Structures are given as C-alpha cells and as structure tokens.
Amino acid sequence: MSAHTYNSPSSSSQRTLGSILTLNVRKKAKARSRWIPAFAGMTTRKMSASFLFLTFLVTGNAFAQDVLIRNATVHTASSQGTLQNADVLVQGGVIRAVGTNLQAPASASVVEANGKPLSPALFGGITEIGIEEVSGEADTVDSAVKLANAQPMRPEFDVTLAYNPESVLIPIARIEGLGFTLLGANTGGSFIAGQGGVMRLDGSADSIGPRVLFVKLGTDVLGLSGTSRAAQWMLLDQMVGEARGRIATDSPHALLTPTGRAVLAHYLAGNGRILVSVDRAADIRQLLRWAQRENVRIAIASGAEAWKLAPQLAQARVPVFVDALADLPGDFDQIGATLENAARLHAAGVEVSFAQFGDASHNARKIRQHAGNAVANGLPWEAGLAGLTRIPAQVLGVGDRLGTIAPGKTADLVLWTGDPLDVSSVAQQVWMGGRAMPMRSRQTELRDRYLRAPGALPRAYTTP
Amino acid sequence: MRIALTAVIGLVSACGAVDAYAASRFTQDPYPSTYRPIASGPVLIQHATVLTGTGERLDDADVLLQDGKIVAVGRALSAPADATVVDGTGRWVTPGLIDVHSHLGVYPSPGMSAHSDGNEATAPVTANVWAEHSVWPQDPGFHAAMAGGITSLQVLPGSANLIGGRGVTLKNVPATTYQGMKFPGAPWGLKMACGENPKRVYGQKGGPSTRMGNIAGYRAAFIDASEYLKKNQPKPATPKKKRWWESSSGGGNADSAGDSGGKRDLKLDTLAGAINGDIRVHIHCYRADELATMLDLAKEFGFKVAAFHHGVEAYKIADRLAAEGVCGALWADWWGFKMEAFDGIQENIALVDRPANGCAIVHSDSDEGIQRLNQEAAKVMANGRRAGIDIAPERAIRWLTLNPAKSMGIDGVTGTLEAGKMADVVVWNQNPFSVYAHAEQVYVDGARVYDRTDRARQPKSDFMLGQGAATGGAK
C-alpha cells in the first residue's frame, strides 16, 4: 500500500479519539432532547445508532477546516485504489495526506471512521439543482430559453447565471454524499440548449472549471428541427459555418447572433466539451463523424445504444454519461437499451459516468443507485465508483480539484455507513472543503417534526 | 376489513343477499379472465432464507410448490419424487412482488402517441372506462418487471381525471390478450385523483379549475351514484302486502323499491360498485390535508378507501391512516416535481408503516421503478435506520407483497408464502434489499416464468422480435 505521509508540526498535541468521544458524551444529554425523537419501542441498539450520527452533528458544528479522518476504508478513486485502515488529513480545506498512522496537528479535529468507507464526494449527475425549485412551476424554473420572435439558436445562453445557491435542493442532495453536479441547460427553443457548468454543492455561488455546451439530437427534438433529424445536422453545420466564418456574418439567413458565433467558435476551438444527449446508434455514428471532422471534444449523455459503438467511442475517446437504469425501448431511439450498457462500454475502454433523465434534480441522490445497478449488471465496482467521482471530474475539466482522494485535492469527502454504491448505505458525514457539513436539510427537518409524538401545541411550534 | 377473494368470485358479498344482487349487477364481467397457469411439476426450494410475507423469517428453510399452490414452508420438507429441486443455499425466497400502481400496457414502451391510452382526458369523471381495455399485452415493460420479481400488478388509468375509471389486476404472465393475464376473481380498482392534476387538465376545459371544484366534482358523481344505487335496490323477496289505502301506483317507498333503475349506466355501475365495496377505491392524492378531505368524502358517501397512492405527505397523518385501515402506496424518495410533492421525505414509508395497523406499500407508477421495488424498499430501510427506525427484512417485504395484496383484495390467495396460496414466488441471489440483488427465478402459480440463467425462460415481447437484426452486427 502506497501512503502519502504528513509531517506533523505538532504531533504531541494531536487530539485523540478519546477526547472526541468524551466531547460527544458530554453533549449527548442536551443534544438528545433536541435531535432524538422519543417514540415508543426504540431499543438501546437503535439509540446507539442514532448517537453515532450525533457524533458527526457535534463535530459538524466546528467549522475548522482541519480534520484527520482515521482508520477508514479509503476509496481514493485514483490509481491508488482502495486503502484499508487508512487516514486522511485535511488542512485548509485541502487534502494534505493519505496514509496510515498520520499525526494530527493541534488545529485538526479527529474523526474515527471505524473502518467505514470514505470516498470523494460524488458527482450528482447532470441536473438543474439551483435553477429549478419545483419542476411543475414554471416560475421556479430557469433551465431553458425560448425566445419568442427572436433567433432561437442561442449557444450563448448560460444557465449558471441563474444559479441560486440557497436552493433547498442543495442540502437535500449534499447530505446524500453528492458534492458536485454539472448544471445543465435544457432545450427550449432550440436543440442547441445552451451552456452550463460544474457547481460544487457547498453553497458557493459560482461555477468552477470550463463551461459545457449542451446539444440534444434525435427524436426528442424533432419538433425543433423541422420534423427531421437530418435537419439537425443541416442546422448544426450551418451554425458551425457561421462560427468558423465560412458563412458571411451579414447573411440574411444567419442562425446565430454575433455572441452566439463567438461562443460556438470557442467550443469548436477545443476549449470546452460539447455534451450531446443522444440515444440511437445511427445518430451516435453521425455524431462521431461530425466531431472528428470538426475536431471538437464531445461527450455523450444518455446514450441508450452507445454500447453498439463502444469500440469507436473508445477510439475517439468520447466519454458517456449513461442512464444505467434505461433498459426499455422508450422510443425508437432506444430499441437497444440494456442494463449492460455501462459494462459493455467500459469493457471496450470507454470512460463511463452516469446521469439521470427522469427527476435528475430533486432525486439527484438516486445516481448512486444507477452506479450500483451498473455494477450489478457487469461493471467492475471500481469503475462504478470512478464513474461517480474521477471520471466526471476529469471529463468536465475539474479533475485537478475534485473526484479523487489525493494530496492537493479539495477535501470534498464522504464517510459512508457501508458500500457507497449500495442503496442499503447512506452518507454518514459529508465534508466540503474540509468543513463538516450539517447533515440537515428541509427534508430532515420535516422528518424530525413528524417523528415525534404530537405535543400540547400544534407541530408548527416545534423547532428543529 | 378484508374482503375474501372467494366472496368476490362467488359474487356473494359478506354484507348479505341485498348487496349480492347489487354486486352482480355492478360488477358483471363480460370480459372474463382466460388465464390458466402454465403447467408445471412440483418444485422444492431448499436451504434458503425465507421471508414469508407474514412477518416471519425462516433460515435454512424449504418451500414446496405443487399444482400451482404453495404446499408447505419449513425445515427439511420432503418432496414428491418428480419434484424439481432448487438449491436455495445462500439465496433468499420471498412471495412474488406486487405493484398496486402501474401503467404498464396503458402507457407502454415505446411511448408512442398511438400508445397513449392511460388517460381518458375528455371529461373529469370517466368512471365508465376500464383500464383493461387499453392494455397492450406486448408492452416489453411487463417482462422487465418480471425480471424484477413482479408476479401481480394493478394497471390503473392515469390521474388526469377526478375519477379516471376502473383499474385491473393482472398476473404478470406473457399472453396475447389481456384476458389471458387477468387475475381470476380479483376485484377491480377505482382510480380517483386529487389535487393539481385534474385542475390543471380541466382548468381551461370547463373545470374543475380549483381544489374546491375537484371536491364538488366527486360529490356530484357520488350523489348520482347513490341515487342509482337506491333505484337499483332489489325488490324484496316477498313483496309487502298492499294495504287497502295504498294506491296501486305509489305510496311508501314503492317508487324506488319497484324501480328497475332503468338503462344501465356504466359510469354509475362503477361508482355504485365502489360504494358497495366490490370495487376498491385507489386515490392518487399527495397532501395530508387532501387525504383527510378524501376520508371525509368517503364517509359522506359510504365507501372505503383501499389506499392512497403517492401520498408524499402521508407521514403527517400516519396515525389516522392506520386507525382507519387505509394503506399508503408510496415512493421511497420522489419529491418536488410539483408543488403538492414539495414536502416528500425519504422516511414516508417507514413512518406510515410505524403505527400498529399501519399499512405501507412500496408502489412504482413507473416502468423503471417496477423493476426494482426491492431496491426502493432498501432505500426506505436505510433512511429509516438513519432516523433511528430499524426495520427488519421480514417486516419490509410486506410492503411489496402482503400489503399491496390487501389493498387490492387478493391477499386471500397471494402475497404470502402460506400453504394453499398461489405459488407466486421469487428466488433471489442474496438478501433482496440491496442494489446487487437479482431475482434469479420467478414463479407464477408454480410455473417458472423467469430464470436469469436460462434464456429459454426469459419471455420476449412480439415487439422486440427482429429488432436490431437488419445490420447483422455490421458497424
């Protein structure tokens, strides 16, 4: 086992596991009345389970960004693989060391992991978290542009400008171990949906890394391309022609605004990924030809039939964000949908990540279930974890900061009750930039309000 | 109150002869089941961890299936000489899973406009339509659900309408006609819907456009049904002797007592059947306050609610649902896709399950979710544990088996592994409450309808034949 050791400047004053436990014991009585619902039939064992979580609530109140997590099963999601009984030291919000018997500096709080799995905070998929509060209420949704009486093709549209870091969806996703998401633009008036970017789910307001341009092809957007998918290529080629200056900027038939030309040219110059949502193998084949001809960096989202072109995708180094639960012929683009899609792509050498296309935002936490099912259907476990960590981080241009547990990386970490890819596990504690996140959300507050027996006053008077 | 299935089959209600007459009129079936179990020999599953669905867990236990029925569950069973022996070592055995809320067949794959047969969205009350008349038996989703252990399901109309029509209970077996899947003797369900959907669909089409409009719509329909029911009361077996002062054309209640009810009304047949308890009422309803209003509506017109479906706020009135014997058919984690779903929590099912007499059901309403109800339950268990509620597998399995069976009125014949019940059984490769669990074998009435390791026991829809053959593997 390779270990990165940390030379502690003050190992003599390290906090011990014992002191942390003592702290918790002291706070238990008070905390219990606030946090632990009292209801009949709770056994001692259940109580201890609750107190286990309490441990992290208490440490979570300390906003120190220095922490030593000891004795974890560390899934680095890097070439280091999984390290048993390993420690991770975080200072200044950054991972400083990964190894065994690390010494904690005075400033660091110590968390005993008891052998539980520690992973990088997970990729939450391609979502509208922060730009869509209630899907069915248009007033709360900012994910798509549809301009009446104006040019519909707007690659310059950028959804990160609408991002609300105070959305209740953020803590709801975060306490399930999700640390970053690709904020996506949805198609409105055009199959060129616009731009999005990577958001860390720590409440920060701004996107990190390069922008991503979202394009959708195939059946779903026939209505935006004159009823034929052939016209999607026709229109795309025209836009590329405008952006590359092959079509006069004053052409009366211009599809793009001057800004749109500049934005598209930026991607065509290889400065960011174009993420293409597409399912049918024939469309993917056309897409690969187009990407090669125009020399652009693409990735595929959904890709129900991507497995049919796995060798070509591997050769062209095109990653796929797979909907790992799609196994039905939902339309005539998905006739070949199979639960083995991820496994077959991986076996051919394609980089596989995951994305959902149902309720991707509110139920972003379900993405773990996608990875788990991909593993249950043949994807190696390590590839399943990589698909939720290292691979999306690298593909989206933030792999230097996110996606692995290694010195120098942002300390976005999750300690799990068990296998992070299994639905029978939950996140026990999440750290973002080394800060222990409160494991609370609007949903846990609703839960706690109704867990307890009603009192003399209506429940509206209860406080979390 | 449970209605024994046999009573329904025999058209003899527990309430007596009066209702029996009504039931026979309102729930006649001109489209009867033609389902026949696939012939199969005896099967002995040995040395498995068995979750019976009755709340019990048996380790190193055997399950014997014969003549389509469960014969015995226990240790070291002896089997007939011709029995197929299945080694259950390391495997788990459960009753076949049951989904109380599916739109397979009525919103099938592929989701073409020609296949959009789940909502008769032409009027807010369409109690006259029957979901079974929309079911496309070639929906590949049935077979995908089978691979997830589903042996029975209720296919419901959608939720566009206040009263959407009759749902049908199917055995999940491949057939060319829906009658070939129709669960023999299972009562129909009546689909109703609260809240946002009906008012959104009809707000610009003559209403209702508000929640108060919704309630007025249900009340008007049930007032008509109550009148219809009254008119269709049977004549007394021995006509009351006419007094000299009574005219030959009236007096007393002779008017309604003698009324034949006139022309049959399909809409009112269904609603009258629901009032009589012969058709089980399943209500799509999200918010706690609306659930309570619907319970009052049920009391007003004398029907019983079998289950509230979706009920993302059911946890707020879990005690009342338990006290009234109403099941909550719920998702593990869906929320926020519309305003009435904003208060969803992941412990909803655990909290509805918690009170004595609580009846929690994991339902899907999804062609993806129905393939892995076991994983949905596992998520509930994990979240319950996080909240300090430990739920054992033998308890949780009831959410997918016995409880939906109860709400559908088929618990007398399926939903548990008890001697005499239909041999609807799933053999799992491991504890089913994990993302890694697979249904290895699925039995319906004792026949192995699915086997993960045997392609000859993996049904394929007509629709899927020949797909992808054109290229012959060319790239």
Q: Do A286 and A329 have their domain in common? A: yes
CB A322 within 8 A of CB A354: yes
- Residues in Cβ contact with A347 at an 8 Å cutoff, skipping those fewer than 6 apart: A310, A378
Orientation of helix B266-276 relative to helix B211-231, angle to 10°: 90
pLDDT value, residue A41: 32
Q: Do A110 and A141 have their domain in common? A: no
pLDDT value, residue B405: 98
DSSP conformational letter for A452: S
Q: Do A81 and A156 have their domain in common? A: no
Higher pLDDT pick, B341 / A25: B341
Residue A413 within any structural domain of the chain: no
Spatial CA neighbour of A41 closest among B384, B167, B294: B384
**DSSP H/E element including B283:** strand B280-285
Q: Does B379 touch chain A (CB under 8 A)?
A: yes
Distance from CA of A454 to the nearest CA of B (A): 11
The mean pLDDT value for A43-63 works out to: 39
The mean pLDDT value for A267-272 works out to: 95
Whether residue B249 is predicted with pLDDT greater than 60 in this model: the reply is: no
Higher pLDDT pick, B474 / B28: B28
**Max Cα-Cα span within chain B:** 94
DSSP conformational letter for A141: B
DSSP conformational letter for A102: P
A362 closest CB neighbour out of B337, B385, B434: B337
The mean pLDDT value for A337-347 works out to: 98
Spatial CA neighbour of B393 closest among B433, B429, B335: B433
A443 closest CB neighbour out of B346, B371, B382: B346
The mean pLDDT value for A427-445 works out to: 98
pLDDT value, residue A28: 30
CB A64 within 8 A of CB A108: yes
Structural domain of A46: 11-120+426-461
Q: Do A328 and B436 touch (CB under 8 A)?
A: no
The mean pLDDT value for A227-256 works out to: 95
Whether residue A45 is predicted with pLDDT greater than 50 in this model: the reply is: no
**DSSP H/E element including B58:** strand B57-66
pLDDT value, residue B259: 52
Q: Do A134 and B468 touch (CB under 8 A)?
A: no
Q: What is the CATH number of the domain that holds A28?
A: 2.30.40.10
Distance from C-alpha of B363 to C-alpha of B400, rounded to nearest angstrom: 8
Q: Does B335 touch chain A (CB under 8 A)?
A: yes
Residues 404-423 of A with CB under 8 A from B: 417, 421-423
Residue A5 within any structural domain of the chain: no
Q: Does domain B5-12+96-223+262-413 have CATH number 3.20.20.140?
A: yes
Whether residue A340 is predicted with pLDDT greater than 60 in this model: the reply is: yes
Question: Mean pLDDT across chain A, nearest whole number?
Answer: 88
pLDDT cut 90: percent of chain A above it: 82
The mean pLDDT value for B173-184 works out to: 98
**pLDDT tens-digit readout, B385-416:** 999 999 999 999 999 999 999 999 999 999 99
pLDDT cut 70: percent of chain B above it: 88
Q: Do A239 and A336 have their domain in common? A: yes
Q: What is the CATH number of the domain that holds A337?
A: 3.20.20.140
Whether residue A87 is predicted with pLDDT greater than 90 in this model: the reply is: yes
In angstroms, what CA-CA distances link B415 with A133, A283, B418?
Answer: 39, 45, 9
Q: Do A155 and A276 have their domain in common? A: yes
CB A217 within 8 A of CB A232: yes
- pTM: predicted TM-score of the whole model, two decimal places: 0.90
Whether residue B15 is predicted with pLDDT greater than 70 in this model: the reply is: no
Helix, strand or coil for residue A169? helix
Q: Do A115 and A134 have their domain in common? A: no
B47: left (phi over 0), alpha (psi -120 to 50) or beta: left
The mean pLDDT value for B357-366 works out to: 98
Q: Do A320 and A307 have their domain in common? A: yes
Encoding tokens for residue A280?
């049918």
Asked if the interface predicted TM-score (ipTM) of this complex is over 0.90, the answer is: yes
Q: Do A137 and A111 have their domain in common? A: no
pLDDT value, residue A17: 28
pLDDT value, residue A163: 98
> pLDDT band for position A372 (50/70/90)?
very high
CB B324 within 8 A of CB B308: no
Residue A412 within any structural domain of the chain: no
- Residues in Cβ contact with B466 at an 8 Å cutoff, skipping those fewer than 6 apart: none
Residue A409 within any structural domain of the chain: no
The mean pLDDT value for A337-359 works out to: 97
Helix, strand or coil for residue B227? helix
**pLDDT tens-digit readout, B438-472:** 999 999 999 999 999 999 999 999 999 999 766 65
> pLDDT band for position A30 (50/70/90)?
very low
> pLDDT band for position B261 (50/70/90)?
low
Encoding tokens for residue A140?
């709360």
Distance from C-alpha of A99 to C-alpha of A104, rounded to nearest angstrom: 12
Whether residue A34 is predicted with pLDDT greater than 60 in this model: the reply is: no
Residue A151 within any structural domain of the chain: yes
B355 phi/psi in degrees, rounded to 5: -65, 155
Find tokens 């309000």 and name the residue.
A449
Distance from C-alpha of B16 to C-alpha of A91, rounded to nearest angstrom: 77
Number of structural domains found in chain A: 2
pLDDT value, residue B424: 99
Helix, strand or coil for residue B364? coil
In A184-219 the beta strands, taken as DSSP E runs, fall at 192-200, 208-216
Q: Which amino acid is at A290?
A: W
Q: Do A258 and A285 have their domain in common? A: yes
Whether residue B297 is predicted with pLDDT greater than 70 in this model: the reply is: yes
Q: Do A306 and A369 have their domain in common? A: yes
What torsion, rounded to 10 degrees, do the Cα atoms B320, B325, B326, B332 define? 80
Higher pLDDT pick, A27 / B84: B84
Q: Do A388 and A433 have their domain in common? A: no
**pLDDT tens-digit readout, B368-377:** 999 999 999 9
Whether residue A58 is predicted with pLDDT greater than 60 in this model: the reply is: no
CB B313 within 8 A of CB A105: no
The mean pLDDT value for A256-264 works out to: 97
User: Which residues on chain A are in Cβ contact (under 8 Å) with B337?
Assistant: 134-136, 359, 362
**DSSP H/E element including A384:** helix A381-386
Spatial CA neighbour of A398 closest among A170, A203, A193, A206: A206
Q: Do A334 and A186 have their domain in common? A: yes
Distance from C-alpha of B111 to C-alpha of A298, rounded to nearest angstrom: 29
Q: Which of A423, A425, A439 to mutate to test the interface with B (most CBs of B within 10 A)?
A: A423
User: Which residues on chain B are in Cβ contact (under 8 Å) with A426?
Assistant: 382-383, 385-386
Whether residue A335 is predicted with pLDDT greater than 70 in this model: the reply is: yes
The mean pLDDT value for B344-362 works out to: 98
Whether residue B41 is predicted with pLDDT greater than 50 in this model: the reply is: yes
Whether residue A50 is predicted with pLDDT greater than 90 in this model: the reply is: no
Q: Which amino acid is at B442?
A: V
